[in-house]
Structure formats: structure tokens, C-alpha cells
């Protein structure tokens, strides 16, 4: 039989109640016995004294066993529960009325007798001559003659007959009380257990229902807002079930976030495939067209036309190569395929080297390259090749969007523990609707026309700067025309 949690808790609770009931019954019986002994000893406290004072138990030769027989017989007939013994000064049993062989002790310990006569707290248990293994309550009084103690009257208050009757009564009461207690405990335990443990396990049942709902619907069907709304703050005073529920809800929220991240990654993967297909299709089709024209009309084309078609085919080929290289670099940057080889260098020196690379291009477009470099600039620790790639991309964009006879300015500054580089042009600028997507991968699935989709250059710039724990951003310059990009590197 497979029990659920509530049933197991009820069974354990009932077993504990039964055990506690048995222990309490035993304690009650023990306490009742002690109370009975104390009460009996208090009621008969002066019994031995009256016997000693009103009986001639000492003769001319000391203790008189013969004179004791009639008195003892009368007392034990009147009260069968007592047993009277006559003790000498050493505690030896000098006289008694028990049948032969019933008295098993010939001496009684006098230590309890002395405590009794001294007035020690009751109950005081002494030796029972008939039952040496079971101490008993007693009453005792000294027997004196001429002011000298000659012996003791020793009265066992709960004698053998009382013990036999009490044993039967106690056994009957024990069984009756045990059966009644067990019945009440089982009935009350089942009722209280069902009510209490259903209340205690209600959070677990709710949590189980939530888990089953997640299993049935699947993570992809969970609403992120609902998952986050269920997350409870963890308080130190929360119980274990509350902590478990809070942990599960937090885990559910993280699963939803991770699932959505996976969906977003999958969407980005589809966008990458679409982007590569779109970006490669146009130059490849153009390249194929020019080459096909050269192959079909080779004899009909003049040398000048043939050179023009070859130049256009080469341009498209370079465009495909550049795009493939950018995609390769972006993939390495995004998936950790690049290890930084950092070294100390001055950004001002690197800027001048990059200016020389674009000098001919700038002259062809009649664009002035202006470097606004301070006299002293702290060096930075970075990958020289990657930072050259950053400046190359930014200057290439600035030159391509600058009008003829325009100007491209590069300025360097130091602030707040960073070195900043700003690249500005005097082109048409960037429309407001495109600025939020400048540093995101362009997508043909967005439906925007090609003119409104950026390239991969800025995305590569952002990834490289982030690898150096820096930032890159577009500067909104409302007071002048053109676009300005700034990146900062820590010192």
C-alpha cells in the first residue's frame, strides 16, 4: 500500500499520541501509587505510637513476644492490610504472626526507621519482611522501659493482602484506562490529524498542482508576467514549504526567461541566415551577370566595355569578400573566438597611422581629415590590432557618408579615468528612427528597406569595445549636421 504524505503524517502523529498516552498512563499509575503510599502513611503516622503506648510489649526480661500475639492478632483482624512486627535494637524481627516461611527477612534496615522518627518528608519506604524486593510504607514507634529504648513496633501499612487486591485492581484499571485512552487517542488523532495535516500540507498540494500544470502545459506556455508575479520574497521567518515554493517559483521564472532567450536566439539564427542570404545574393547575382555577359558577348564587346564589366565584377567580388570577412569577425567576437593580446600604446599614435591609411580615399572625395589630439594623453592597455579595426570602421563610415569637400574630425580626451575618442562627420546624419538599432544586427525580416538597415561595422565596433570593458555610443548633436560616435576605454 502506497501512502501519501498526509496519511503518513497522520500515522506518525497517531503513533506518537499512543506512545505519549502509554507514558502518561505509566506516570499516572506511578504517581497514584506514590500518592496512595504518602496518604496511607500520613493517616497511620501515629499507629505504631498508639500500639506502643497502650500495649504491654515489654516484660521483665525485655521484649515479650507472648504478650504481642493477642494484640497483633486483633489488629490484623480489624485491618487485614497491616502487618505488625516487633523489632529489637538491631532491627531483628523478634515477633510476628505470619505463617511459617512467609517472613523472608530476619532483620529490617533501621535507616528508614531513624528517618521516620526524625520527621523526614513522607512517603518513607522501608523493608517489608514478607516481600524484600518491594519496599513499603510503614509506621514505627520506639518501645521504652525506664526511659531506655528496648525495641520498635514496626507496622507495614500496605501488607500482603492489600498488595494482592491492589495488584488485581491496578491491572484492571490499567487495561481499562489503556483501552479508553487508545480509543480516544485514535479517534481524536485521526480527526485532528486529518484537519491539521490537511492544513499543514495545503501549500504542498498547491505546489504539486503548480508543478503538474507546468508539466502539462510546458514551459513555453507559461506567461512570463504570471511567473514573475508568483515569485514571493524570501523571508527568514518563512517555513520550509514556503521557501520551497518560493524557490520553485523563482526557478519557473528563470526557466521562462531562459526559454524566451532560446527563442530569441533561434529567431536571431534565422535572421542571420536570412541576412547572409540577402546580403550575398545581390553582389553574387551582379557578379554572375557580369561574368555571364563577358562569357556570352566576349566577341561583341570592345576592350573598353570588357574592362568596365571586369571592374564591376571585381568590385562585387570585393564586396562579397568584405561581407564574408565581417561575418566571420562578428561570429568570432560573439562566441569568444578571439583572445585579446593587450599591450600599452598611445591612441594618438594609432589614430595618425589610421589617418595615413585613409589619406588617398579622403583626397579622392576631397574630404579633410582633422585630428584634434592633446599634447599629453595617457596610454591604454588594449589589443592594438582590434583597436585599429575599431578606428578603421568608424573612419570608413564617416568618409562614406561625408559629402565632397566635407570634414571628418577625430578628437581624443581624458575624463573620469577613461580615454575617449570621438569620430565626427558632416554627412546627412542618422534619422531618429534608426538610432535605437545602430548597434543591433540588421535584419531583412524587419521589413525595412535596405537604405534603413545598417551594416555590420558598428556591431563589430561595439563587440570589440565591450571586450575591452569600454563603451561606445552615438552622440546626438542637435546643433550641427552629421553623425558622431564616441568610444571610451579604461586607463
The Cα-based distances of 377 to 19, 345, 469 in angstroms read 84, 10, 19
Q: Which helix (H) or strand (E) holds 314?
A: helix 303-334
Q: Cell triple for residue 148? A: 531506655
Q: Which helix (H) or strand (E) holds 344?
A: strand 342-345
Give the whole-angstrom CA distance, residue 370 versus residue 407. 7
Which phi-psi region, left, alpha or beta, contains residue 416 (left: φ > 0; alpha: ψ -120 to 50)? Answer: left
Which residues make Cβ contacts (< 8 Å) with residue 269, sequence separation at least 6?
none
Residue 445's pLDDT is what?
47
Residue 168's pLDDT is what?
54
Residue 387's pLDDT is what?
92
Give the whole-angstrom CA distance, residue 277 versus residue 279. 6
Residue 15's pLDDT is what?
77
Residue 182's pLDDT is what?
66
Give the whole-angstrom CA distance, residue 389 versus residue 354. 9
The Cα-based distances of 79 to 24, 82, 164 in angstroms read 33, 6, 15
C-alpha 413 chain-centroid distance: 49
Coil, helix or strand at residue 252: helix
Coil, helix or strand at residue 105: coil
Give the whole-angstrom CA distance, residue 194 versus residue 183. 17
In 3D space, the residue among 356, 448, 3 whose CA is nearest the CA of residue 201 turns out to be 3
Q: Sheet with 368-372: list strands edge to edge.
A: 368-372, 407-415, 418-424, 484-490, 471-475
Give the whole-angstrom CA distance, residue 370 versus residue 485. 15
Q: Cell triple for residue 177? A: 484506562
Q: Cell triple for residue 192? A: 485532528
The mean pLDDT values, 10 residues at a time, for the chain of 491 residues are 67 75 71 72 76 64 60 64 83 78 86 90 88 87 81 80 55 64 70 72 75 71 50 52 75 78 77 72 82 82 84 85 77 74 91 91 90 89 91 90 90 90 88 73 51 65 89 81 90 83
Give the whole-angstrom CA distance, residue 236 versus residue 245. 14
Residue 488's pLDDT is what?
93
Burial of 472 (0-12, 13-18, 19+ CB in 10 A): buried
In 3D space, the residue among 28, 21, 23, 31 whose CA is nearest the CA of residue 181 turns out to be 21
Amino acid at each position: 500500500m502506497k501512502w501519501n504524505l498526509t496519511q503518513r503524517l497522520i500515522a506518525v502523529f497517531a503513533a506518537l499520541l499512543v506512545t505519549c498516552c502509554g507514558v502518561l498512563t505509566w506516570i499516572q499509575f506511578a504517581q497514584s501509587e506514590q500518592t496512595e503510599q504518602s496518604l496511607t502513611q500520613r493517616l497511620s503516622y501515629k499507629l505504631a505510637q498508639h500500639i506502643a503506648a497502650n500495649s504491654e510489649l515489654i516484660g521483665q526480661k525485655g521484649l515479650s513476644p507472648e504478650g504481642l500475639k493477642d494484640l497483633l492478632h486483633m489488629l490484623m483482624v480489624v485491618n487485614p492490610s497491616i502487618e505488625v512486627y516487633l523489632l529489637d535494637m538491631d532491627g531483628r524481627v523478634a515477633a510476628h504472626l505470619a505463617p511459617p516461611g512467609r517472613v523472608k527477612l530476619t532483620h529490617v534496615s533501621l535507616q528508614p526507621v531513624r528517618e521516620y522518627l526524625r520527621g523526614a518528608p513522607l512517603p518513607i519506604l522501608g523493608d517489608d519482611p514478607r516481600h524484600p524486593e518491594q519496599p513499603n510504607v510503614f509506621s514505627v514507634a520506639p518501645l521504652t522501659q525506664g526511659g531506655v529504648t528496648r525495641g520498635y513496633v514496626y507496622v507495614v501499612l500496605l501488607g500482603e493482602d492489600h498488595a494482592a487486591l491492589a495488584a488485581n485492581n491496578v491491572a484492571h484499571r490499567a487495561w481499562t484506562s489503556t483501552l479508553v485512552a487508545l480509543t480516544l487517542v485514535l479517534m481524536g488523532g485521526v480527526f485532528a490529524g486529518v484537519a491539521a495535516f490537511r492544513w499543514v500540507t495545503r501549500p504542498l498540494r498547491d505546489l504539486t498542482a503548480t508543478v503538474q500544470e507546468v508539466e502539462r502545459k510546458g514551459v513555453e506556455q507559461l506567461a512570463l508576467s504570471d511567473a514573475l508575479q508568483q515569485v514571493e520574497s524570501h523571508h527568514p521567518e518563512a517555513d520550509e514549504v514556503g521557501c520551497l515554493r518560493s524557490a520553485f517559483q523563482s526557478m519557473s521564472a528563470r526557466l521562462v526567461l531562459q526559454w524566451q532567450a532560446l527563442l530569441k536566439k533561434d529567431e536571431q539564427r534565422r535572421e542571420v541566415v536570412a541576412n547572409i542570404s540577402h546580403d550575398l545574393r545581390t553582389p553574387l547575382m551582379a557578379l554572375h551577370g557580369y561574368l555571364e555577359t563577358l562569357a556570352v558577348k566576349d566577341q561583341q564587346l570592345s576592350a573598353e566595355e570588357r574592362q568596365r564589366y571586369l571592374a564591376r565584377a571585381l568590385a562585387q567580388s570585393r564586396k562579397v569578400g568584405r561581407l564574408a570577412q565581417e561575418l566571420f569577425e562578428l561570429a568570432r567576437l560573439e562566441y569568444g573566438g578571439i583572445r585579446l593580446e593587450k599591450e600599452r600604446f598611445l591612441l594618438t599614435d594609432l589614430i595618425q597611422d589610421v589617418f595615413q591609411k585613409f589619406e588617398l580615399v579622403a583626397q579622392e572625395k576631397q574630404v579633410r581629415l582633422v585630428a584634434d589630439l592633446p599634447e599629453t594623453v595617457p596610454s591604454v592597455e588594449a589589443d592594438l590590432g582590434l583597436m585599429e579595426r575599431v578606428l578603421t570602421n568608424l573612419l570608413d563610415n564617416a568618409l562614406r557618408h561625408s559629402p565632397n569637400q566635407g570634414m571628418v574630425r577625430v578628437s581624443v580626451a581624458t575624463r573620469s579615468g577613461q580615454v575617449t575618442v570621438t569620430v565626427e562627420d558632416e554627412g546627412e546624419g542618422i534619422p531618429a528612427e534608426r538610432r535605437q538599432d545602430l548597434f543591433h544586427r540588421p535584419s531583412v525580416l524587419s521589413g525595412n528597406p535596405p537604405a534603413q538597415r545598417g551594416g555590420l561595422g558598428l556591431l563589430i565596433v561595439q563587440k570589440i569595445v565591450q571586450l575591452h570593458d569600454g563603451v561606445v555610443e552615438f552622440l546626438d548633436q542637435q546643433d550641427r549636421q552629421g553623425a558622431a560616435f564616441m568610444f571610451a576605454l579604461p586607463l
